[in-house]
Amino acid sequence: MASFPFVLQAHQGNHQVELVYNGQQLEFDGLSLDEPKQSSSCLPCGPSSAFAGGHRIIKTVEILNIDIEHEDSLVLSVASAKNGPTKESVLERLVFQVRDKANAVQWQSNVLSHVYKDIKKGRHFKVLVNPFGGQGHAKKLWETIAEPIFKAAGCTYDLTYTTHRYHAKEIARDLNIRLFDAVVSVSGDGVLHEVINGLMERPDAIAAHKLPIGAIPGGSGNALSYSLLGEDHGSHVTNAVLGIIKGRAMPVDLCSVTQGQNRYFSFVLQSFGLVADVDLGTEDMRWMGEARFTVAAVGKLLSQQTYPCEISYIPVETNVDKIRAEYNYRRQQSVVWADQTHDELDQSHPTIVDRFGGVNAQLNKSDGWVTDSEDVITAVGAKLPWISKGMLLNPASTPNDGLIDLIVFPKGTGRMNGIQIMLGTETGEHIYHDKVRYMKVKAFRLTPKNESGFISMDGEHTPYSPYQVEAHPGLISVLSIEGRYARSMRE
Ligand SMILES: Nc1ncnc2c1ncn2[C@@H]1O[C@H](COP(=O)(O)OP(=O)(O)OP(=O)(O)O)[C@@H](O)[C@H]1O
């Protein structure tokens, strides 16, 4: 293999340009101070400082494709952060003229083989778009932003617009998984919940759980996108698509929930009390848009409403400082991809095994169960740090620590503390509040002690009856460039 740097002499009009790829990034030297000939099919392009001094840098991860068109045009397709690191990346087509085609072909081959090292180039996706997701914007987001980037990267897809509730679940259940490199959803978390539950219902769930999932934010709650891309980029379609084209399969734990005779799979959260009420009990406030959640939560905190229940859990760590230290330690460790793991389902057993029994089993004392019987304001188990924009409820959540983050706001918090805690959820600082209990657990069981109310599994309404949650390590995989969620806790 040729050694770095890979250098190519090219032209833009009368300007000579040197394209230098060093394994980390592509640098253009000698660019015209005017922007090069390009087209952008995403966002309007603002003035770019990236061209200052005739020099521009494009990171390896931002390079989608390099084509040689006609005899002398080298076309670079990139999704770059040209408008600033917190702005949505932009699809660009940069065109250069080359005089020595053979040389250009060699350069193209050298660069692309490095850009797609360990990643299949030209993936084939099953794409699901919920035309009603996110107040009806998902279809437009697909057509105007996502689809052109997939095409520019040479990816192909089989597209379905979901036509009814549970359509995504039916598709995932019946999908010929060997045909696709991943299943991609342009939606909120509701459709992803259906996809995961559809995959897990299959007789070949053992194989199906290996099919990676790609999330493009197109709903009103995009918890997975926010968790993968962080607060700044969680709603940015281009960044999400880049992660799907250039990401690898990251193993992600999945919560299995037993309730009555049923089993659900939950990848975001299982909520009881205030958080469930705000999620499911505010349909009549939909006209307020996203503000409905804040208005409802403030109202409930001021009313000091509490919810009687019994919570049992198997604690692993209950000290927030130690949880943070472990979080930071884990971030120092090298990333493990799904194709490098041997999870429990690869072994001999054909179905999910509940290590701690289901909800109807007696709690086994030797497992270390602890039981609290007191009213709470809310109790939430979760596997994602962000549950929506501006709501970093479980900052220590990581994709694959095999544990559930359990957060409890006990009764008697008081109105002022309640508001302080709520404000803290924007940055995740609420977990340090002395009225909040935040812990890492292996499993938990919640038994409501009143007649009726709301329990939410990933935003889905489930019966108001006891449920037990256990995390199954690495049961699904999600396409990710970083191999971890965006940083959600301070160092
Ligand atoms: N064509 C359709 N008609 C009605 N419901 C649908 C359709 N397609 C999908 N759904 C349902 O829409 C629900 C919400 O979908 P999605 O995940 O896209 O958004 P969300 O963020 O959860 O919520 P929101 O609808 O508020 O954006 C899912 O539970 C899914 O079953």
Q: For residue 294, what is the domain's CATH number?
A: 2.60.200.40
What separation in angstroms does the CA of 343 have from each of 192, 300, 472?
A: 22, 42, 9
Q: Which amino acid does the sequence have at 302?
A: L
Q: How high is the pLDDT of residue 247?
A: 97
Is there a single domain that holds both residue 311 and residue 452? yes
Using one digit for the tens of pLDDT, what is the confidence trace for 242-283?
A: 999 999 999 999 999 999 999 999 999 999 999 999 989 887
Pocket test for ligand 1, best of 163, 165, 169, 283 (most atoms within 8 A of CB): 165
Nearest CA to ligand 1 atom 22: 190
- Tell me the average pLDDT of the chain: 90
pLDDT-derived band at 295, boundaries 50, 70, 90: confident
Query: Percent of the chain, pLDDT > 70?
Result: 92
Using one digit for the tens of pLDDT, what is the confidence trace for 425-438?
A: 999 999 999 999 99
Nearest atom in ligand 1 to 191's CA: 17
HSE of 442, CA atoms in CB hemisphere, 13 A: 11
Q: How high is the pLDDT of residue 298?
A: 86
Find all residues with CB under 8 Å of 355, minimum gap 6, and list them: 442, 443, 470
CATH number at residue 131: 3.40.50.10330
| pLDDT surpasses 50 at 101 | yes
- For residue 491, how far is its CA from the centre of ligand 1 (angstroms)? 37
Q: How high is the pLDDT of residue 346?
A: 52
Is there a single domain that holds both residue 237 and residue 271? no
Q: DSSP states of 197-264 as a string?
A: HHHHHSTTHHHHTTS-EEEEE-SS--HHHHHHHHHHHTT-HHHHHHHHHH-EEEEEEEEEEEETTEEE
Name the pairing type of β-strands 6-12 and 15-21: antiparallel
In whole angstroms, give the CA distance from residue 225 to residue 236.
Answer: 9
Q: How high is the pLDDT of residue 343?
A: 56
Among candidate residues 466, 387, 403, 392, the one with its CA nearest the CA of residue 432: 392
pLDDT-derived band at 347, boundaries 50, 70, 90: low
**Residues 192-207: what's their mean pLDDT?**
89
- For residue 383, how far is its CA from the centre of ligand 1 (angstroms)? 21
- The verdict on residue 344 lying in a domain is no
Nearest CA to ligand 1 atom 16: 188
Is there a single domain that holds both residue 274 and residue 134? no
Nearest CA to ligand 1 atom 14: 190
Among candidate residues 226, 458, 261, the one with its CA nearest the CA of residue 358: 261
Is there a single domain that holds both residue 76 and residue 154? no
HSE of 50, CA atoms in CB hemisphere, 13 A: 20
Is there a single domain that holds both residue 299 and residue 177? no
Q: How high is the pLDDT of residue 37?
A: 44
> Which among 216, 246, 276 is the end of a domain?
246
Bridge partners, 455 (sequence order) = 272, 462
Task: Identify the H or E element spanning 192.
Answer: helix 189-201
Q: How high is the pLDDT of residue 296?
A: 86
Contact call for residues 66 and 75 (beta carbons, < 8 A):
yes
DSSP 369: -
Q: Domain of 11?
A: 6-115
Between 70 and 398, the higher pLDDT residue:
398
Q: How high is the pLDDT of residue 344?
A: 52
- For residue 405, how far is its CA from the centre of ligand 1 (angstroms)? 26
In whole angstroms, give the CA distance from residue 184 to residue 367.
Answer: 38
Neighbours of 115 (CB within 10 A): 20
What separation in angstroms does the CA of 452 have from each of 269, 411, 456?
A: 20, 18, 13
Contact call for residues 430 and 275 (beta carbons, < 8 A):
no
Three-class DSSP category at 180: coil
| pLDDT surpasses 70 at 309 | yes
Bridge partners, 470 (sequence order) = 256, 443
How far does CA 293 lie from the centroid of its chain?
21
Is there a single domain that holds both residue 66 and residue 142? no
Is the bond into 5 cis (omega within 30 degrees of 0)? Answer: yes
Q: How high is the pLDDT of residue 69?
A: 92
Please tell me the total number of residues recorded for the chain in this structure. Answer: 491
Nearest atom in ligand 1 to 130's CA: 8
Query: Percent of the chain, pLDDT > 90?
Result: 76
> Which among 115, 134, 165 is the end of a domain?
115
Q: How high is the pLDDT of residue 351?
A: 63
Nearest atom in ligand 1 to 190's CA: 17
Q: Which amino acid does the sequence have at 100?
A: D
Using one digit for the tens of pLDDT, what is the confidence trace for 6-42?
A: 999 999 888 899 999 999 999 987 555 554 444 444 3
**Residues 446-458: what's their mean pLDDT?**
96
Q: How high is the pLDDT of residue 210?
A: 79
Q: How high is the pLDDT of residue 290?
A: 64
Is there a single domain that holds both residue 63 and residue 188? no
CATH number at residue 38: 2.30.29.30
Choose the weakest-confidence range: 50-54, 155-159, 412-416, 425-429: 50-54
- The verdict on residue 28 lying in a domain is yes
pLDDT-derived band at 208, boundaries 50, 70, 90: confident
Between 54 and 354, the higher pLDDT residue:
354
- The verdict on residue 92 lying in a domain is yes
Q: How high is the pLDDT of residue 403?
A: 97
Question: How many domains are contained in the chain?
Answer: 3
| Structure-token pair, residue 465 | 């009856």
- For residue 369, how far is its CA from the centre of ligand 1 (angstroms)? 37
Q: DSSP states of 44-95 as a string?
A: PP---GGGGGGEEEEEGGGEEEEEEETTTEEEEEEEE-TT-TTSPPEEEEEE
| pLDDT surpasses 80 at 297 | yes
**Residues 180-187: what's their mean pLDDT?**
97
- The verdict on residue 240 lying in a domain is yes
- The verdict on residue 175 lying in a domain is yes
- The verdict on residue 387 lying in a domain is yes
Is there a single domain that holds both residue 272 and residue 395? yes
Nearest atom in ligand 1 to 189's CA: 17
Q: Which residues line ligand 1 (CB under 6 A)?
A: 130-134, 162-167, 187-191, 194, 219-221, 459
pLDDT-derived band at 44, boundaries 50, 70, 90: very low
Nearest atom in ligand 1 to 192's CA: 17
Nearest atom in ligand 1 to 138's CA: 18
- The verdict on residue 350 lying in a domain is no
- For residue 105, how far is its CA from the centre of ligand 1 (angstroms)? 46
- The verdict on residue 233 lying in a domain is yes
Is there a single domain that holds both residue 287 and residue 386? yes
Q: How high is the pLDDT of residue 14?
A: 84
Pocket test for ligand 1, best of 130, 266, 386 (most atoms within 8 A of CB): 130
Is there a single domain that holds both residue 442 and residue 391? yes
Using one digit for the tens of pLDDT, what is the confidence trace for 52-89?
A: 456 889 999 999 999 999 889 999 999 999 899 999 99
Contact call for residues 439 and 318 (beta carbons, < 8 A):
yes
Is there a single domain that holds both residue 236 and residue 181? yes
Is there a single domain that holds both residue 225 and residue 273? no
> Which among 69, 84, 115 is the end of a domain?
115
